[in-house]
Amino acid sequence: MILGCLALNASFEPLTMVPMRRALRLVIDGKAEIVEAEQDKLVRSERLTMPRPAVIRLTKFIHVPRRFRRQVTNTFLFARDHYRCQYCGRPSIELKPREALTRDHVIPISRGGTNDWTNVVTACSPCNTRKGNRLPHEIGMHPITHPVEPHFVHLSWAVRRLTTTQARYIRTFYGDTILHQLEALEHRHGHRPPEVSEHPGAATA
Ligand SMILES: [Zn+2]
């Protein structure tokens, strides 16, 4: 079983999971220090043997641009919207065989809209097609839920693989609520893989 290592910023903010090899490289190069290690499990690099790091902390603070941290992916977008079309309200399980969930831009890109969390919603392919490149008021289609940026989605993919020790750092930094939200999110999308795949022919206007 390959386990990742939780990398913290110098500020102790959890950043991401990194593969063990990369974590070791950062430590050996002096770019990170080991915060938590599994004492009973050793790893060997070219020259040294050390306890396997579970949590490392970067020695220098790195600024993570928001666009890298909060990227909208369909996986997280659909999860945020509870796998439900934000126009007709149908959940993914009620879609017909040739329909799919898609990403809709509330203000279409062609009309000056952005790809930010606050401008994208989950839409079934028929609703997305019907809305086309029109503004909500032009066609009378308004999202059921006002789109907002979810918290710390960049970490949600990693939650499932966190060890107890690693989860403690997430909890310490963000609090229990966020950890539970992330776990719930992860739990959800683990159960719905087929319906949330990207629809190749669907418009994303
Ligand atoms: Zn719909």
- pTM (predicted TM-score): 0.54
Query: For position 152, what pLDDT does the model report?
Result: 58
Å from CA of 109 to ligand 1 middle: 19
Same domain, 52 and 107: no
Query: For position 199, what pLDDT does the model report?
Result: 42
Å from CA of 202 to ligand 1 middle: 13
Q: Cα–Cα distances in Å, from 137 out to 45, 84, 140, 173?
A: 61, 21, 5, 41
Å from CA of 52 to ligand 1 middle: 48
- Whether 128 maps to a domain, the answer reads yes
Å from CA of 60 to ligand 1 middle: 47
Pick the last residue of a domain from 117, 149, 181.
149
* Number of structural domains the chain divides into: 3
- For residue 29, what are the domain limits? 5-58
Give percent above pLDDT 70 in the chain: 77
Å from CA of 77 to ligand 1 middle: 15
- The C-alpha atoms of residue 130 and residue 141 are separated, in whole angstroms, by 9
Same domain, 91 and 132: yes
Å from CA of 103 to ligand 1 middle: 11
Query: For position 121, what pLDDT does the model report?
Result: 97
In this model, does residue 57 exceed pLDDT 70?
Answer: yes
Residue 181 sits at the vertex; the CA angle it makes with 16 and 93, to the nearest 5 degrees, is: 105
Q: pLDDT for 167-203, tens place per residue?
A: 888 878 877 777 776 676 666 554 443 333 334 444 4
Same domain, 123 and 138: yes
